[in-house]
């Protein structure tokens, strides 16, 4: 049984964390390559890829929410050595995911023009964006199954399986970007559409790999009848997953509002918007280990609760968070020291470089608290406390960051600097509240819905 309910704490954390870190690096490489290749074609295509990527992220929020609920259920089942329930819950999450994906795919294939227009795409990139959206919509089913199946494997402790799958997916996507866009190796030149086709093809291959991996060992019973919906299980998944979906929507909406505030700074708005774009790209490197440890914490806490060992679950949560805080403190310290040099790598404009440097100097101070929030939040989600995680993050964004950013930037006249300070303060509050919620320990006795 591949569980993380025994052995040394440090060994247990390492066993699940290193594959997750590699997976996050693979995902980063794909996103970077998509943008890079799009930039080789034209700035309009690059803009379309960036914009559609944000729209597509909204499409897969439901898949991520289903995965969150599934991990909470399956990790508990595996920790309790109840394989039959784990298989049953996994089957229901996959069936539910397929139905959701079909509904969204059909909707977006029929109304793609209206969706692109409503989203506010500039007329110059609408045809490109429409092509991307149609191809992505066709690949939504495979992507949903890929996301959910990877979550099932993580929840069961089989972390090397999604590592193998995502290595294959990422490799095919990166190679496909160049081969399909530019028509290498005697293949037809597809132009910008090749970026979307490469993504669709790679996630489809990943889905096939995971479905094949399900055919052996404990998961082979997934393919046995009946293949009907069990409403009670689906309600459990929805109850655990909807706060995760609302959290992501609220965070993205808050980020849009923050961009809107920066866009109202008059002559300084362009430098500010460029600075936050550059800063987030640099921060993405720091986020990789934090997101990996977030996924690790959710599985570790869930399995140990299932095994009836809440004390070990708490120890693993705190130890994983400590590892994340240490890593991010080191990484953010390096970037803080070399902030101006990092900014110079992304822009030659003096004003943008100066603002990017200021952004990095201020926000690097918040990274340890971001690690605390993200990793302990993952532990709470693994325990089934998805609503608590949602409340903390929405509080940080909508009741601290955005009001404070408005006051500092416009009322007190600090401009972009005020927004950066608001981001720092909100992350300190968010990390502190998440740590307090985890420390309080109500999640240890929280029954699954």
* 173-211 as b/e: b if 16+ CB within 10 A: bbebbbbbbeeeeeeeebebbbbbbbbbbbbbbbbebbb
Residue 342 to residue 357: CA distance in whole angstroms: 8
CB 214 within 8 A of CB 149: yes
Q: Count the helix, strand and coil residues of the chain and give each as a percent rounded to the nearest 5.
A: 85, 0, 15
Angle formed at CA 422 by CA 419 and CA 423, multiple of 5 degrees: 90
3-class secondary-structure state, position 330: helix
Number of CB atoms found within 10 A of residue 393's CB: 24
Taking only the tens place, the pLDDT of each residue in 42-92 is 867 777 777 677 778 878 899 999 999 999 999 999 988 899 999 999 999
Residue 13 to residue 23: CA distance in whole angstroms: 16
Q: Which residue has tokens 């992501």?
A: 248
Q: Measuring CA to CA, how many Å separate 266 from each of 256, 261, 263, 348?
A: 18, 10, 7, 21
How crowded is the C-beta side of 121, counted as CA atoms within 13 Å? 29
Per-residue pLDDT of the chain (449 residues; tens, 9 = 90+): 456 777 788 888 888 889 989 998 998 888 888 878 887 888 677 777 776 777 788 788 999 999 999 999 999 999 888 999 999 999 999 999 999 999 999 998 999 888 888 766 667 778 888 888 899 999 999 999 999 999 999 998 899 999 999 999 999 999 999 999 998 877 788 988 999 999 999 999 999 999 999 987 788 888 888 888 889 999 999 999 999 999 988 988 888 888 888 888 888 888 888 888 788 878 888 888 999 999 999 999 999 999 999 999 999 999 999 999 999 999 999 999 999 998 888 778 888 899 999 999 999 999 999 999 999 999 999 999 999 999 999 999 999 999 999 999 999 999 999 999 999 999 999 999 999 999 999 999 888 66
Q: What is the pTM of this model?
A: 0.86
């Amino acid at each position: 049984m591949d569980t993380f309910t025994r052995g040394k704490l440090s060994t247990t954390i390492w066993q699940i964390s290193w594959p997750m870190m590699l997976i996050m690096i693979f995902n980063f490489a794909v996103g970077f390559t998509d943008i890079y290749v799009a930039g080789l074609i034209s700035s309009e295509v690059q803009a379309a890829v960036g914009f559609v990527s944000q729209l597509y992220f909204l499409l897969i929020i439901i898949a991520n929410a289903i995965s969150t609920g599934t991990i909470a259920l399956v990790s508990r089942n595996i920790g309790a050595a109840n394989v039959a329930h784990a298989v049953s819950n996994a089957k229901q999450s996959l069936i539910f995911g397929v139905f959701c994906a079909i509904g969204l795919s059909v909707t977006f294939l029929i109304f793609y023009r209206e969706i692109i227009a409503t989203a506010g795409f500039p007329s110059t990139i609408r045809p490109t964006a429409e092509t991307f959206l149609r191809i992505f919509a066709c690949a939504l089913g495979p992507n949903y199954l890929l996301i959910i199946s990877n979550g099932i494997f993580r929840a069961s402790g089989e972390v090397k399986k999604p590592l193998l799958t995502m290595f294959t997916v990422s490799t095919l996507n990166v190679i496909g970007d160049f081969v399909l866009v530019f028509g290498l190796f005697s293949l037809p030149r597809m132009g910008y559409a090749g970026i979307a086709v490469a993504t669709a093809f790679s996630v489809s291959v990943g889905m096939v790999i995971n479905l094949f991996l399900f055919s052996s060992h404990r998961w082979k019973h997934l393919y046995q009848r009946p293949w009907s919906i069990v409403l009670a299980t689906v309600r459990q998944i929805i109850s655990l997953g909807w706060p995760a979906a609302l959290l992501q929507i609220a965070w993205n909406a808050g980020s849009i509002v923050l961009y809107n505030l920066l866009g109202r700074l008059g002559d300084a708005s362009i430098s500010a918007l460029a600075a936050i774009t550059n800063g987030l790209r640099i921060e993405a490197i720091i986020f990789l280990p934090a997101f990996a440890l977030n996924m690790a914490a959710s599985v570790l806490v869930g399995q140990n609760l299932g095994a009836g060992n809440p004390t070990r679950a708490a120890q693993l949560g705190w130890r994983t968070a400590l590892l994340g805080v240490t890593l991010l403190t080191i990484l953010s310290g390096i970037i803080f020291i070399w902030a101006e040099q990092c900014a110079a790598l992304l822009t030659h404009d003096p004003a943008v470089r100066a603002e990017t440097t200021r952004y990095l100097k201020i926000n690097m101070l918040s990274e340890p608290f971001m690690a605390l929030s993200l990793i302990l939040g993952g532990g709470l989600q693994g325990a089934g406390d998805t609503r608590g995680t949602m409340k903390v993050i929405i509080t940080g964004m909508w009741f601290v960051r955005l009001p404070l950013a408005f006051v500092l930037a416009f009322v007190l006249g600090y401009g972009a600097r005020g927004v950066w300070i608001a981001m720092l303060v909100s992350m300190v509050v968010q990390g502190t509240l998440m740590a307090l919620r985890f420390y309080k320990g109500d999640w240890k006795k929280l029954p699954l819905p």
